[in-house]
Amino acid sequence: MYLQNALLPLTSLLWATTSQALNITISQPDVAFAPSPLPPSHTQSDGNAFVSLFQSLGRTTVWTLISATPFSGSTWEPEGLIRLGPDRYIVSCGEYTSPTVKYPNSLIIIGTDRSAGAGFAHLVVFSSNGSRIADATLTAPGAVEYHTGGLDYDGEWIWATLAQYRPNSTATVIKIDPSTLESEEVLRYDDHLGGIVHDVDESSVTALNWGGRNATRFRLPGGCSHAPTQSPSPSQSTPRKIKTVRNPSYYVDYQDCKFRGHVAAYQGRAVMLCSGVATIGSTATGTFNLGGIAIVDVETMVPLDEVPITMTSELGVPVTQNPVDVAVVDGKLRLYWLPDQHNSTLYVYEAQPDSPYEY
Ligand SMILES: *[C@@H]1O[C@H](CO)[C@@H](O)[C@H](O)[C@H]1NC(C)=O
Ligand SMILES: *[C@@H]1O[C@H](CO)[C@@H](O)[C@H](O)[C@H]1NC(C)=O
Ligand SMILES: *[C@@H]1O[C@H](CO)[C@@H](O)[C@H](O)[C@H]1NC(C)=O
Ligand SMILES: *[C@@H]1O[C@H](CO)[C@@H](O)[C@H](O)[C@H]1NC(C)=O
Ligand SMILES: *[C@@H]1O[C@H](CO)[C@@H](O)[C@H](O)[C@H]1NC(C)=O
């Protein structure tokens, strides 16, 4: 037990509200970054409808392409996507100016296996016609935590992570005001964090670790818990790690997740939509890319419903390669994917429910 504890990464959780001057390039000065008022969270609007529509999907679902819109300017590597109402998309992007390099002979230095590399984390705002509205650089030149991950939106804030671009390193959880793109530091953690979701009801955030193979959950100050045994003590004034759980699904590696609430269809359990891709097979036997989407239990990472996705972009990249968002539009389930690097096209697909007789 003593040894096990000694091997765990130190958790240094800080609660800070400092924010540095925003480094921003504005392309359309008269256009607001976000709609006013902001759209409600999907927990409040379409979370339950989303889950019941997802439960009608299957392998024979017909996915109708609604639109394919090129986004102007570089998106570097798109990591997270938020559809903020019908006319705004916010994308987290990773610009890499110097690659990470693996240490020779499988060497591990201070717990990790490669050099830090260098780059910038961006948050870029687009209109639905693909025009670029603003590009905020979230990290300072030389910052070691320059890798951003997935995004989530809770009706007020956009949640994001800034991490070192290497395993077993460090990360910072931030929240961003969509109207100003100003960010606030929420907590620091001694491991890599990527895709993140915010559960407003439980006042917790859950973020994927390196490769999406584990997920770590933190209780935030304030708010009340659904589970009385886990409710924060009144004195809790800083974020606190709850636990790290293993992700038991190996079909696809999740790239970006979206909180969808404590839904009735799953007895009030907190669920998220995740989208991702994996290369299956080996060079000896041949490989193929498998794309997929899943409804995942946020607390346990157990997938509750999974569907493969086979569409690719015009450049041949699986649509689930990078970020995702989802909405219920006129009673239909729509998925928003941004698969390609650098020159990205937003693909919007609508699901036609499966016929139960097609199997
Ligand atoms: C992570 O790094 C720490 C040192 O920073 C080390 O003690 C620990 O063993 C490493 N964990 C893994 C899983 O490599
Ligand atoms: C694209 O959308 C922006 C923001 O809504 C608007 O200002 C601009 O005029 C639109 N451009 C075109 C070509 O429609
Ligand atoms: C602003 O961000 C760009 C990268 O997008 C970087 O080259 C520049 O140095 C940054 N400026 C400041 C003052 O941080
Ligand atoms: C994943 O989490 C499990 C359970 O906490 C832990 O034993 C394991 O070391 C973690 N793996 C990585 C790669 O962090
Ligand atoms: C984007 O596409 C244009 C036109 O095809 C090309 O000239 C440009 O090099 C591409 N940019 C990147 C970053 O790939």
For residue 176, what are the β-bridge partners? 158, 183
Residue 309 domain-assigned? yes
Nearest bound ligand to CA 9? 1
Residue 195 domain-assigned? yes
Q: Would you place residue 356 in the very low, low, confident or very high pLDDT band (cuts 50, 70, 90)?
A: low
Asked if residues 289 and 299 have their Cβ atoms less than 8 Å apart, the reply is no
Per-residue pLDDT, averaged over 269-276, amounts to: 98
For ligand 3, say whether the CB of 76 is within 6 Å of any of its atoms: no
Residue 357 domain-assigned? no
CA of residue 81 to ligand 4 center, whole Å? 27
Nearest bound ligand to CA 8? 1
The residue whose CB lies within 8 Å of the most ligand 1 atoms, and thus the one to mutate among 168, 191, 192, is: 168
What pLDDT is attached to residue 105? Answer: 94
What pLDDT is attached to residue 234? Answer: 53
CA of residue 148 to ligand 3 center, whole Å? 16
Of 341, 179, 320, 200, which Cα lies nearest the Cα of 260? 200
What pLDDT is attached to residue 358? Answer: 54
Residue 250 domain-assigned? yes
Q: Would you place residue 57 in the very low, low, confident or very high pLDDT band (cuts 50, 70, 90)?
A: very high
Range(s) of the domain holding residue 244: 14-352
CA of residue 298 to ligand 1 center, whole Å? 25
Q: Would you place residue 222 in the very low, low, confident or very high pLDDT band (cuts 50, 70, 90)?
A: confident
Per-residue pLDDT, averaged over 269-283, amounts to: 96
For ligand 5, say whether the CB of 74 is within 6 Å of any of its atoms: yes
pLDDT at residue 347 greater than cutoff 60: yes
Domains: count for the chain: 1
What pLDDT is attached to residue 6? Answer: 33
Q: Give CA torsion, residues 238, 244, 249, 255, to 10 deg.
A: 40
Nearest bound ligand to CA 209? 4
Model pLDDT for residues 109-157, shown as the tens digit of each residue: 999 999 999 999 999 999 999 999 999 999 999 999 999 999 999 999 9
Residue 358 domain-assigned? no
pLDDT at residue 83 greater than cutoff 70: yes
Report residue 340: phi and psi, to 5°.
-85, 150
Per-residue pLDDT, averaged over 279-303, amounts to: 96
Residue 359 domain-assigned? no
How far apart are alpha carbons 194 and 215 in whole angstroms? 9
Q: Would you place residue 16 in the very low, low, confident or very high pLDDT band (cuts 50, 70, 90)?
A: very low
pTM, rounded to two decimals: 0.91
Minimum CA distance residue for ligand 2 atom 10: 129
Residue 103 domain-assigned? yes
For ligand 3, say whether the CB of 140 is within 6 Å of any of its atoms: yes
CATH code: domain of residue 163: 2.115.10
Residue 131 domain-assigned? yes
